[in-house]
Amino acid sequence: MPPRRWRLRLLLVFLLAVFVYVTVMYVRIVRQSGKNEARQADAIVVFGAAQYGGKPSPVYKARLDHAAQLYHRGLAPFVIATGGAGADPDFSEGVVGREYLKTLGIPDSQLIAETQSLDTAESARRVAAIMRANGMHSCLAVSDGYHIFRVKQMLTQEGVTVYGAPRPNSKPQSLWKRSFAVFREVASYTLWRMHLT
């Protein structure tokens, strides 16, 4: 077989493998996003989002509101809010989340703020360390629907038993935005699995 044809076949096989991988991951992320696995656990973990001047962004606020609802249903005795300072050195997402959760009737003694992480993978590692230090083994992960698959994979790798509890109405309204969000998660998950993030 001429080298050119051999290279073309190799390229086609590679492209087919990429297509199959992306399709499988797309389906897994979408399926997980539609599952509400809320049940008894040792803690509720709220993955951070932006904060502005000490106030949670609308996305973060919605996650925190959902976590508070789960707490008041008696599903876990502790809530862990995650996230570092990012671009704002005066406030970390973890502290902003903790302070907001206090206003929703959760006692300070039942709240833990993880304040150092700069991305989801680091949040998962730090949360797992906090949980081990406090004798916790299971958690409800609260984030946006399409984010839950990656969160669960990361926490599971750290030895945590994790159940997804996506915030309601977290999927974008338009098909294009939903597809973009899922493809972004496929890319982020793949980079993490390749140890590139």
Share of the chain above pLDDT 70, in %: 99
| 108 to 47, 85, 96, 99, 133: CA distances (angstroms) | 18, 20, 13, 8, 18
| Residue position matching structure tokens 């001429």 | 2
Instruction: Say if residue 25's pLDDT is above 90.
Output: yes
Q: What pLDDT does residue 6 have?
A: 82
User: Mean pLDDT across the chain, nearest whole number?
Assistant: 94
Of 24-33, 85-94, 169-178, the range with the lowest mean pLDDT is: 85-94
Tell me the mean pLDDT in the region 43-61: 95
pLDDT tens per residue across span 106-153: 999 999 999 999 999 999 999 999 999 999 999 999 999 999 999 999
- Cα three-residue angle 27-38-159, rounded to 5 degrees: 75
Instruction: Say if residue 88's pLDDT is above 80.
Output: no
Instruction: Say if residue 19's pLDDT is above 70.
Output: yes
What are 197's two structure tokens? 């993030």
Q: Quick check: 36 and 167 in contact, CB under 8 A?
A: no
Q: What pLDDT does residue 103 have?
A: 97
User: What value does the CA radius of gyration of the chain take, rounded to a whole number of Å?
Assistant: 19
7 CB burial (10 A radius; 0-12, 13-18, 19+): exposed
Q: Sorting pLDDT into bands at 50, 70 and 90, what band is 1?
A: low
pTM: 0.92
What gap in Å lies between CA 63 and CA 185, rounded to an integer?
A: 18
| Residue position matching structure tokens 């996230």 | 83
Determine the topology of domain 32-193 in CATH.
Rossmann fold (3.40.50)
Q: What pLDDT does residue 7 have?
A: 84
